[in-house]
Amino acid sequence: MKSLNHLGVIFFPAYDWAISPTHPEREERLLYTQDQLREEGVFDLANITEYKPDIATYADIERTHFCFPGPEVVTTESHLVAAGGAIKAARLVMEKEVDKAFALVRPPGHHAMKVVHGNRGFCNINNEAILVEFLREHYGIQKIAIVDTDCHHGDGTQDIYWHDPDVLFISLHQDGRTLYPGTGFSDELGGPTARGRTINIPLPPYTADEGFLYVIDNLVLPILDDFKPELIINSAGQDNHYGDPITNMNFSAQGYAVLNRKLNPDIAVLEGGYSIHGALPYINLGIVLAMAGLDFSHVREPDYHPESLRQSPQISEYIKKLCALTMQNYRKPPPLNVKPNQYDTRSRSIYYDTDGINDLQVEQIMVCPSCSGVRHLTSKTRSHASCMGIEIPIDACPRCRDEGYRLLHAGRSNFRGKTIKFINRRDKEYLTLNEFELTPMGRYFF
């Protein structure tokens, strides 16, 4: 018998917020979950306590993202409360008020990348990344693993931690050749200073419980065992469910609960899941019970017929090979052709499907042998003039710190764009320079 955990549940359904009235990420998403948790009497149990969310500050967001033109433009109050729910989960666990915490919040966040111009994939700001940076800022946590079990590739979280060797990002998702956002392939392994710290497991459509749990047992748990994070965070997306209307997987509420028990995360943060009546109440209840160390074997969807959800032998075989390849990539990632002490450049076009924004981005990372490297990017959309972001990482060596300030001073003098955002995680200095402060001559006045 597993021992009980004290579980904190932070519930923020945002009943008055939606992208549009008929959008799948809508107001009622957590309505039936709330009923189910109440009906089951989970809040009457001595080891489960409901907490109110914090409200994330703009400082919490700007520590994590480059928001152009600023966080006040790209977020609503609901986004601040959802991210604040994740922060509350972190605080409860770190202050040892609870053993584990589950932030059942919306709107979701895992498609929000380092740069934010608006909403993409139903997300504006990345709740888990804001949580991670809060933990680093206030509790000095260094090594963290984020395991994303949403059906969609967690491309936003991947982008934020692409260059960070201390945050292991593992995403299990439906193969990007068959689902939004079309990324998350096995060869996406992290940037030159964090190679092998991004792990993608693109699963074929109709993967069932057996396949997901095989990946957890044979790949995810051994990798976590090797990486030894101080904390495990689960981006808990419930849209791998067989009843989900926008995906093609065959995962069940029982499967999700078993996955959670095996993964044993310290904190879970809700991501997607759009079968609001038939799946979300059962998956979320199963996860709550699993995290609390309680029996969940009775949690069943009314239409659950396991025999109709069996995956084919071909899928099992494919997943077995995929796990072997991914383990090899984690242990010995194929090297990148980059030179030390020079910038490595990524040029990308990032589409914001919800807001119809196209961002042309050029990102440079200093391939530093001593730290994760200063990050420098320019971002250009049709409606915004060009913007610049500079980030000195939390583990910056003195040389990369100086390089970050050199880039800032050069930007002040020469940059013809609209906004410069400067993040210095090492010394906790954060600056925004707007076009008003950049004269046509490019001189900055204090």
Q: Which of 180, 101, 111 is nearest to 135 (CA)?
A: 101
User: Which of 370, 380, 384, 432 contacts Zn ion by CB under 5 A?
Assistant: 370
Is 65 considered catalytic here? no
Catalytic residue among 65, 110, 111, 376: 111
Q: Which range touches Zn ion (CB under 5 A), out of 190-198, 314-322, 326-334, 397-405?
A: 397-405
CB of 306 to Zn ion, least distance (A): 23
Conformational region of residue 335, where left means phi above 0, alpha means psi within -120 to 50, and beta covers everything else: beta
CB of 438 to Zn ion, least distance (A): 28
The DSSP H or E segment spanning 219 is none
Q: Which range touches Zn ion (CB under 5 A), out of 238-246, 311-319, 338-346, 376-384?
A: 238-246
- Binding of Zn ion at residue 322 (CB under 5 A)? no
Report the number of secondary-structure helices (H) and strands (E) in the chain.
12, 16
- Binding of Zn ion at residue 150 (CB under 5 A)? yes
Distance of alpha carbon 376 from alpha carbon 409, whole angstroms: 13
- Binding of Zn ion at residue 368 (CB under 5 A)? yes
For residue 170, give the 3-state DSSP assignment.
Answer: strand
Are 330 and 43 in contact by the 8 Å Cβ rule? The answer is: no
- Binding of Zn ion at residue 400 (CB under 5 A)? yes
User: Which of 152, 153, 163, 418 contacts Zn ion by CB under 5 A?
Assistant: 152
- Binding of Zn ion at residue 397 (CB under 5 A)? yes
Which CB sits closer to Zn ion, 28 or 402?
Answer: 402
> Cα–chain-centroid distance for residue 383?
27
Which CB sits closer to Zn ion, 370 or 386?
Answer: 370
Q: How many residues of this chain bind Zn ion (CB under 5 A)?
A: 11
Q: Which of 127, 172, 136, 186 is nearest to 372 (CA)?
A: 136
Q: Which range touches Zn ion (CB under 5 A), out of 13-21, 266-274, 347-355, 379-387?
A: 266-274
Alpha carbons within 13 angstroms on the beta-carbon side of residue 122 total 21
- Binding of Zn ion at residue 128 (CB under 5 A)? no
User: What string marks each residue from 195 to 234 as x (binds Zn ion by CB under 5 A) or -?
Assistant: ----------------------------------------
Q: Which of 90, 126, 120, 133 is nearest to 108 (CA)?
A: 126
> Cα–chain-centroid distance for residue 390?
21
Other Cβ atoms closer than 10 A to 316: 15
Are 404 and 377 in contact by the 8 Å Cβ rule? The answer is: no
- Binding of Zn ion at residue 239 (CB under 5 A)? yes
Which CB sits closer to Zn ion, 60 or 391?
Answer: 391
| Look-up of token digits 């093609």 | 248
Which CB sits closer to Zn ion, 56 or 400?
Answer: 400
- Binding of Zn ion at residue 166 (CB under 5 A)? no
Residues belonging to the active site? 111
Q: Which residues bind Zn ion (CB under 5 A)?
A: 150-152, 237, 239, 272, 368, 370-371, 397, 400
